[in-house]
Every structure is written in structure tokens, then in C-alpha cells.
A and B are shown apart, each in its own frame.
Chain A
Amino acid sequence: MNHRPTYTALPRLYIRSRALPLTVATLTCIALVAAWAAHWLQDQPYFDHTARVPVIVLAPLLASATIGTSLHAHSDELDRTAVRRWWPRRLLHLLVLTVLTAGALASAVPGHPEAFGAPGMVRNVLGATGVATASAALIGARLSWLPMTVYGGAVYLAAPHNPGGAAAVWAWPMQPGPQSAAWAVALTAYVIGATLLAVRGARPESA
């Protein structure tokens, strides 16, 4: 018997089983709205490129919610009987969505990398996706958007006006691009989230 997996028709079924077309469409919409909002905000009188902070914070938040909920497996019990290991597939699923999102959102905020531009956007995509992915592994994909939304919302309201210091750690989504402490937190969150997802998968939920 030929044990070679079927690369032609069946990854299509995997892609549909996780509703990936819908997820990609949603992410595209988020990127388009983010680009429009960023453009509109800095065109307002007395506003400049630093007015893009809400876009830098909120667009990755929405994108991470989309990615987190897309990790739901509707038939986890049957998926567990798969011959092949799941962790490479899960990791690939997450990496593809992260790269697409980070690329699209980074191009939505052109210029000013030293302030609230593409680097800050990529960092926030990584951090928020990491938290959402870890949540999917620990509490289930359906509610995976909740922790990052609560945290992101709180940080948005509470972050001090001046960047750096301790706030670079706890208020990492509100920092300008080059803050290395904020990058460290976001990357750690992403690595933890991706590892938890790869090893455990999204927590099983009743259908």
C-alpha cells in the first residue's frame, strides 16, 4: 500500500475544515480598515503620524482575535486519530496566518518606524497573536480573544504618555517601534503561545 499522504485534493479539506478562507477574508478586511483609519487619523488638523496609536493597538487585537478563534477544531476527537503528528500542521497554520497578518498590517502604517509605524505594528501582531494562541491552548479557541482584548483595552486606557521604563514591559502594545523591552515581551508571548499550541493544540470544546 502507498502510505504517501495526498497533497492534491485533501489539504483543501483541511483548509476548509478550519474555515481558513473566512479567516483570511476577515484579516484582509481588518488590514484595509486599518490602512484607511491610519491615513484618516494623520490627515486630521493638528494630528500627525503619532495619532496612529489606536490603529497600532486595535488592529493587531482584532487580528489576533480572528487568528485565535480560527484555531477551533470542530471534531477534535476524530482529529486525534490522525496518523500524522499534529504539531507541524498546527505550527504551519499559525505561522502562515501570522506572516500574512503582520505583512498586511505593517503595510497599512507606512513611514515613521521610530514612532508608531510598521515595526510597532509587527511587534503588536506577534504579541497579541501569542497571547490569543496561548489562550486557545489553555481555555479553548472560542474564548481565546478575551484575555488579549481585556489586557489590550486596559493597557490602552492606562499606559503613561511617555514611553520606556517599566511601562515598556507591561504596556508593550503602546510603545513606539524601537523599544527593545516591549519587543522582548511580545516575542516571548509569541514563542510561548506557538509552543503551547503546537504541543497541546486548542483545548477541546464541546461541539
Chain B
Amino acid sequence: MSSTTAMSTVTVRKLTVRHRRTAVLDAVDLDFAPGVHGLLGPNGAGKTSLIRVLATVAAPSGGQVELFGSEVGAKSGHRSRAAVRRRLGYLPQEFGYYPGFTVREFVAYVAWLKEMDAAAVPAAVELAVARVGLADRIDARVKTLSGGMVRRVGIAQAIVNDPDLLLLDEPTAGLDPEQRVEFRALIRELGSTSTVIVSTHLVEDVAAACTDVTLIEAGRIAYRGTTQELTALGGEDTGADGPDGNPIERGYTAALRAHRAAVARR
């Protein structure tokens, strides 16, 4: 595991999240530094739970969560969470939108939640909407937009405050191939200055946009490494997947199976 604690924006130690009695995340240790990080794993592995804890919308059952050096875990105060939230961008897997709101109003509402300087809001809203390619629809009502456009509105609200930590849960769901290519370019650009964590089940998003990968399986970290390392894992183990799998998909499967075998041996 990387030991970049000194420059990490995110430091997680023994993070445990329980829903009723099941441990969704089981004593997870993680660090994230600036760059684009992919969070991969099967459905129900705990990706969304991790993102929600990092976004400070869900409280963990145990462990430490430090963002920008401030503790925001279960025992933290409102003051430290407030300071962190100004620097946070979050795209939930599903976000409702307020009826009758236009794109501009919706993004401005989130800017208001983040307590941005009022004078800076109109320009920041226009910039965020332009960056996701919706400048021509800025005054359209959100409910009249297609699913992919709503997803892009979600990305716009997440980047309106120019966040230092950007958490994206399934950002490419509903985007067409061209939009996905544009979106990957956008997050690579954002990752040059801030920490971007992208949860996805699409390995090709990770291959195209992320510098490193964290693989989560059943609430535990199954694999951590750079995207090249995961791809190389697939290249060595060609028999591990079907005939259509590309190297990174084979690498994903190989890493997951190696983890499962290691767990089974315990």
C-alpha cells in the first residue's frame, strides 16, 4: 500500500460501516492524494458506502476519517465538517432535483448550500454548467432534460465550488459514448489539481481516466495499484477470462479472484 500520508487529502483508518448487523465496510485503511482514483468492485461491495462516508453525508460506525487533516468521522464536531464541506464536491448515485428548478437554479442552490461567496456564484454556476457541455440548456428546467443530461447537471453541481476533493458515484451512468469521452477528459483535468474519487463498475472508465485503482470486494480492499499494474495483471493471466475481455478487464477479474482465494484460505 502507498504510504503518502503526508500529502494525502483523504486518510481512512479502520473504517467500519454497518447496516443493521452486516458490515458493509470492514476495518478499511485507505489514503488518497491529488489525482484521479478509480473505485472498482462488484455491486454491493461497499463503494457507495465509502463515498457517502467521505462526502460526510453518512456517519461511519467506527474508525477514523480524515479529510484535509480534519477528522470528520463519527466523533467529529459540526465545525470541522463545515470547513471540509466547503471544499467538497459530491455526485450521489441518485439525486432528486427540486421541481420547477432550472439547471442554473439547481446548481446555484448547491452553491448556496456550500456557502460560496454570493458575488461569485453566478459566474461559477455558468462555468460549471459550461464545463459539462450544457451551456445552451442552462435555463431549461431539469425535469425536461434527458437522463444523461441530468447526470451532467449532477456533475456540474459537484464542481461548482471548485472542490479540492471530488466524489463521484457512478458518474458515467446514462452518458452516451461521446459524453463519456468528454467526461473522462474533464476529470483528468480536475485531477491535475484536486483529488477525484470515481466509483464505477465500468473498468474502461478507470482505464481511460484514472491513475490508480482501488478494488473493493465485500467491504474489504481487494487490490490497490496503478491502472498499468492492474492491466499488466490481466496480460500475464490470459486464461482467467472469456475471449472478449480486454487486458484491464482480465486484470480486474484476476485481482478479484486472487483476493477471494486469499480470503477463502483464511
Q: Which residues of A contact B (CB under 8 A)?
A: 1-6, 8-10, 13-14, 16-17, 19, 74-85, 206-207
Task: Please report which residues of chain B, range 59-109, place their CB below 8 angstroms from some CB of chain A when the two chains form the complex.
Answer: 78, 82, 85-86, 88, 90, 92, 94-101, 105, 108-109
Looking at the assembled complex, report how far the CB atom of B99 sits from the nearest CB atom of chain A, in whole angstroms.
7
Q: B105's contact among A3, A13, A81, by CB below 8 Å, is which? A: A13
Question: In the complex, A17→B112 CA distance in Å?
Answer: 12
Q: Does B90 lie within 8 Å of A81, measured CB to CB?
A: yes
Q: Digit string of B20-57 for contact with A (CB within 8 Å is 1, else 0)?
A: 00000000000000000000000000000000000111
Q: Does any Cβ of A come within 8 Å of B149's Cβ?
A: no
Q: Does any Cβ of A come within 8 Å of B132's Cβ?
A: no
Q: A1-B117, A81-B55 are in contact. Are A10 and B109 (CB under 8 A)?
A: yes
Chain A neighbourhood of B113, CB < 8 A = 78-79, 81-84
Q: Does B97 lie within 8 Å of A81, measured CB to CB?
A: no
Q: Does any Cβ of A come within 8 Å of B184's Cβ?
A: no
Minimal Cβ-Cβ distance residue in A for B82:
A83
Q: Does A75 lie within 8 Å of B82, measured CB to CB?
A: no
Chain A neighbourhood of B259, CB < 8 A = none
Interface size of B as a range: 20 to 34
Minimal Cβ-Cβ distance residue in A for B108:
A13
Q: Does any Cβ of A come within 8 Å of B214's Cβ?
A: no
Looking at the assembled complex, report how far the CB atom of B128 sits from the nearest CB atom of chain A, in whole angstroms.
14
Q: Does any Cβ of A come within 8 Å of B110's Cβ?
A: yes
Q: Does any Cβ of A come within 8 Å of B253's Cβ?
A: no
Q: Does any Cβ of A come within 8 Å of B121's Cβ?
A: yes
Q: Does B97 lie within 8 Å of A75, measured CB to CB?
A: yes
Pick the most buried of B88, B96, B105: most chain A CB atoms within 10 A of its CB: B96
Chain B neighbourhood of A83, CB < 8 A = 82, 85-86, 113-115
Question: In the complex, A5→B119 CA distance in Å?
Answer: 10
Q: Does B94 lie within 8 Å of A207, measured CB to CB?
A: yes
Looking at the assembled complex, report how far the CB atom of A27 sits from the nearest CB atom of chain B, in whole angstroms.
19
Q: Which residues of B contact A (CB under 8 A)?
A: 55-57, 78, 82, 85-86, 88, 90, 92, 94-101, 105, 108-110, 112-119, 121, 157
Question: In the complex, A32→B108 CA distance in Å?
Answer: 36
Interchain Cβ contacts under 8 Å between A and B, 26 examples: A3-B86, A6-B116, A6-B118, A8-B118, A10-B112, A13-B109, A14-B109, A19-B99, A74-B96, A74-B98, A75-B96, A78-B92, A78-B157, A80-B55, A80-B57, A81-B56, A81-B88, A81-B113, A82-B85, A82-B113, A83-B82, A83-B85, A83-B113, A84-B115, A206-B94, A207-B94
Chain A neighbourhood of B98, CB < 8 A = 16-17, 74-75
Minimal Cβ-Cβ distance residue in A for B85:
A83
Chain A neighbourhood of B116, CB < 8 A = 6
Chain B neighbourhood of A78, CB < 8 A = 90, 92, 95, 110, 113, 157
Q: B115's contact among A5, A19, A74, A207, by CB below 8 Å, is which? A: A5
Chain B neighbourhood of A17, CB < 8 A = 98, 101, 109
Minimal Cβ-Cβ distance residue in A for B169:
A77
Q: A6-B112, A17-B98 are in contact. Are A85 and B105 (CB under 8 A)?
A: no
Looking at the assembled complex, report how far the CB atom of A140 sits from the nearest CB atom of chain B, in whole angstroms.
13
Question: In the complex, A19→B121 CA distance in Å?
Answer: 23
Chain B neighbourhood of A206, CB < 8 A = 94
Question: In the complex, A206→B96 CA distance in Å?
Answer: 8
